[in-house]
Amino acid sequence: MRKTSFESDYNNGAHPEVLRHLLETNCESSASYGYDEWSESARKKIREATECPEADIYFLAGGTQTNATVIDALVRPYQAVLAVETAHINVHESGAVEASGHKVVALPSYEGRMEAEVLENYLRRFYSDPTWEHMAVPGMVYVTMPTELGTIYSREELERIWQVCQAFGMKLYVDGARLGYGLMAEGCDFDLPWLGHHCDVFYIGGTKVGALCGEAVVFPQGAPKGFFTHMKAHGALLAKSRVAGVQFDALFTDELYFRIGHHAIDMAMQLRDIFLKAGYEMKNSPTNQQFVVLDNAEVNLLMQKILFETWEPIDEQRMLCRFVTSWATTESDLEELREALHSLSACA
């Protein structure tokens, strides 16, 4: 029997409504390279959902590809991107941003978040200290919403970051690989239209939010000239673009994208509750990634029944572990976890 898996939010297939749309459109012929009718329809729906009628929207296959392509499109070759130490582009993308020529300058991370004040201090010093003339010039700020540690930005925090970016002539890019989970988190005090009016570019993650593959890059004020060719030069232009178009068309029909987010958050909060009630220490996270402290012995025992990721050793005895929910997580998965934890405590 297959074990219950909380390993990730891409350990599953497509949400049934996404899959159904792929099925029902499969026999029609279409244009390609982004000109197909479903891509057009999805763009229209995303423009409405973001209240950005002038937005240019492009669909790419995956997140790392999207980050490298967008960053390289918006900054000059000699420019760096500023991100927190724990940022996905700084740690877990195998140097993809550097591979297109740009340094990632790491600022301190506060539970995965960048602080506007830290950013501003860095930029002030950059432009005042003459010895910094030999450093890579900051061209963009990269933040993730929600962050790699599951935390979210408040409206005020993001707004201040955007103000700093504008004051120093920098682009603000929001990596929304898990955007649906961030926006549906308890405590999130902004929505998609607000986000669309407070950054230069962001992407709406599909792969981790119910699609088989695909990310939708949104340029609220229009894309930089030549972005189509730029995508192709990065190997990011899908020939059979309908594969992404149809899926995003489904995700933005009847608010599916938000329903998926809502469901996963509901499951995550229940999961959090299970661990907390069982007395485990957890990191602060209102989203679908939950980080739990387990003894190494507990890790081994629990892994026999439930799949999850070991995130980072805390010390020689303890491990920070990650449990992730998604559209595919069920009440019965949670029940399996509850029982597994129960038998764990029985063992002890």
- For the record, the structure tokens of 195 come out as 């986000």
Q: Tell whether residue 328 is a contact of a second copy (CB under 8 A).
A: yes
Site for a second copy in 7-36 (CB under 8 A): 7-8, 10-14, 16, 19, 22-23, 25-33
Dist CA 72 CA 239 (whole Å): 21
C-alpha distances out from residue 263 to 51, 154, 163, Å: 24, 21, 33
Does position 166 bind a second copy by CB under 8 A?
Answer: no
Q: Which is nearer to a second copy, 158 or 165 (CB)?
A: 165
* Site for a second copy contains 41 (CB under 8 A): no
Asked whether position 197 contacts a second copy by CB under 8 A, the answer is: no
Closest CA to 46 of 253, 260, 262: 253
Contacts with a second copy by CB under 8 A: the residue count is 86
232 lines the binding site for a second copy (CB under 8 A): yes
Report if residue 77 touches a second copy, rule: CB under 8 A: yes
Q: Which stretch binds a second copy (CB under 8 A): 49-57, 99-107, 256-264, 292-300?
A: 99-107
Binding piece for a second copy, criterion CB under 8 A, among 205-213, 257-265, 275-283, 292-300: 205-213
Among 110, 163, 233, 280, binds a second copy (CB under 8 A): 233
Question: For residue 211, how many C-alpha atoms fall within 13 Å in the half-sphere facing its CB?
Answer: 28
3-state secondary structure of 311: strand
Q: Is 332 in the site for a second copy (CB under 8 A)?
A: no
CA dist., res. 240 & res. 258, Å (int)? 26
Structure tokens at 201: 């570019």
Subset of 278-317 contacting a second copy (CB under 8 A): 307, 309-312
Contact call for residue 1 and a second copy (CB under 8 A) = no
State how far the Cα of 82 lies from the Cα of 50, in Å rounded to an integer. Answer: 26
Measured over all CA atoms, what is the biggest interatomic distance in the chain, rounded to whole angstroms? 64
